[in-house]
Amino acid sequence: MVQKMGQCYKVSVIGGGTAGLVAARELQREGHHVTVFEKANRVGGTWLYDPRVETDPLGIDPNREIVHTSLYKSLRVNLPRQVMGFLDYPFLKKDGGDPRHFPGHQEVLRFLEDFARDFGLMELIRFEHEVVRVELVDEASHEWVVESRTRTTESKWESKEEIFEAVVICNGKSTEPKIAEFSGRDIWPGLQMHSHNYRTPQQFENKTVVLIGNGPSAVDILREIAPLAKQVHQAVRGPNFKLKRLEKHDNAWQHSMIECAHKDGKLVFQDGSIVYADVIIHCTGYKYHFPFLKSNGIVTVDDNRVGPLYKHVFPPSLAPWLSFVGLNYKAVPAITIELQAKWVAKVVSGKLGLPTQAAMTYSVEEFYREMERKGWPKHHTHNLLYNEFEYIEWVARELDIRPPNWWKNITYESHVKMLRYYGSEYRDAWDIDEWMLEMNSPNFSTP
Ligand code: FAD
């Protein structure tokens, strides 16, 4: 298909979470005809708390009924609201809402619902429509068939196929659990679950619980269950983690990773320590999963690398007609998603160009080679921990946008604060209003 500058296309967006809503807004702004498919009956994605958990608490049974969100009931955001809004639509405190800088999850849902309403996005969304197939039907014209299904009765589904000229995939990245590997895992007799299926602490009362991981969920869950549990043991990968009691808890210890598990309930850690536990909670992150995407092997997921993708967004040979928004992690989601969505919308309408297919492919391969040189494992492909600012600034330059300085300062400071105040105290300890006043003073030096 010959792409003409400023032309409008029929575009399908898969998912009505943050990424899908922002993509829909940007595509609509460019004049495209947008249809958003959302399998839930509301917008919000991750932020739509669901008290249900999956039938397989570890989340490995492919036939389990999937619950999309991984939120636990008490979750408060781990980034200040100042960086959770969008460039022209800040995440402001509202009457009757949760005024904290790090509010509870309900406040984020309200913000996203307001965003969708304020930009007229609700009308674009087909709720309770799950996409089951996205397939390129005509390479020359880049026509995609999107097959969706909707429930008509408890046991009956109705399917429909529609043709679109472009597809933007925004189905989220925190639903398909990744679990820790260790010898004896499958014969260990206790309850094993993934943090995806953790909601409230009550079931851990008087239990000995081993938590695997050291990310925000592990830290939050540890803090929440320690007051009720008999003992909590946190297993952390890496050479720096050895047996020690955790500060602020009488009944919680940190260990190195689990070496092996035994039939009698014994867990042996790599540091030689031994614990008999009732429960293991894998707080070990998620896998990218696009069960609906039939791309003839052009886009694959290999060891959590979705590729090949130019700048984490466009598969070179299918660009700009297929794109992904929101794959990156260890980066501030809102701005990353917003800039990616703007980029996709403008590239689809031909207002911004992409390099040639060969040049994009070379860029992806060069990125993989650079990862190898630096010793970064493949599964860190979409991790922006070390190049968040560089990436954001690159996309912003493509768009001729300059992200405000305060954004960079708060992001940098958020990461520092989280390290400085281990656990959740940083959420209330950090007086951001005061800090922003200082930041705006002439004496403030940027990082
Ligand atoms: P999602 O929010 O997951 O949305 C994907 C949507 O796609 C869902 O609505 C889903 O129903 C829909 N969908 C999926 N498959 C299909 C299909 N086949 N057909 C139709 N619809 C489909 N970010 C922050 O900025 N601050 C935080 O404090 C923070 N805390 C987090 C805590 C947890 C526990 C988790 C898991 C994530 C957290 N995040 C946080 C990251 C958060 O996920 C992102 O900010 C953002 O919400 C991701 O949006 P998304 O649209 O990419 O994905």
The CA distance from 179 to 58, in Å, is 8
DSSP designation for 197: G
Residue range 287-301, pLDDT digits in tens: 999 999 999 999 999
**Nearby residues of 333 by Cβ (< 8 Å), 6 or more positions away:** 18, 84, 326
User: Quick one: tokens of 103?
Assistant: 């509010």
- Per-residue pLDDT at 1: 57
Which protein residue's CA is at the shortest distance from atom 41 of ligand 1? Answer: 333
Q: Which residues of the chain have pLDDT under 50?
A: 422, 445-447
Q: What is the pLDDT of residue 154?
A: 87
The answer to whether 132 and 74 have CB atoms below 8 angstroms apart is: no
Q: From the CA of 40, how far away is ligand 1's center (Å)?
A: 12
Q: Nearest 5°: phi and psi at 387?
A: -140, 35
Ligand 1 contacts CB of residue 382 (under 6 A): no
Query: Is the minimum distance from the CB of 414 to ligand 1 under 6 angstroms?
Result: no
Question: Quick one: pLDDT at residue 422?
Answer: 47
- With a 6 Å cutoff on the Cβ, whether 80 touches ligand 1 is no
Structure tokens at 49: 């708390």
pLDDT of residue 413: 79
Would you say the CB of residue 79 lies under 6 angstroms from ligand 1? Answer: yes
Asked if residue 45 has its Cβ within 6 Å of ligand 1, the reply is yes
The order of strands in the sheet holding 258-261 is 258-261, 266-269, 274-276
Q: What pLDDT is stored for residue 347 in this prediction?
A: 98
Closest CA to 198 of 276, 103, 278, 282: 282
Q: Which of 171, 195, 407 to mutate to test the pocket of ligand 1 (most atoms within 8 A of CB)?
A: 171
For ligand 1, say whether the CB of 169 is within 6 Å of any of its atoms.
Answer: no
Question: What pLDDT shows up at residue 5?
Answer: 74
> How many Å apart are CA 116 and CA 16, to the nearest integer?
9
Can you tell me which atom of ligand 1 is nearest the CA of 286? 36
Q: What is the pLDDT of residue 7?
A: 87
> Can you name the residues that pair with 167 across neighbouring β-strands?
12, 322
Atom of ligand 1 at shortest range from CA of 102: 28
What does the pLDDT read at residue 143? 94
Ligand 1 center–CA 23 separation, angstroms = 13
State pLDDT tens for residues 44-58: 999 999 999 999 999
Task: Determine the Cα–Cα distance for residues 315 and 298; give it in Å rounded to an integer.
Answer: 8
Tokens representing 294 are 């039939």
**Contact (Cβ atoms closer than 8 angstroms) between residue 395 and residue 339:** yes
Say yes or no: CB of residue 315 within 6 Å of ligand 1.
Answer: no
Q: Looking at ligand 1, which residue's alpha carbon is closest to its atom 46? A: 18
84 contact partners, CB below 8 Å, separation of at least 6: 77, 91, 108, 111, 332, 333, 334
Tell me, what's the pLDDT at 386? 87
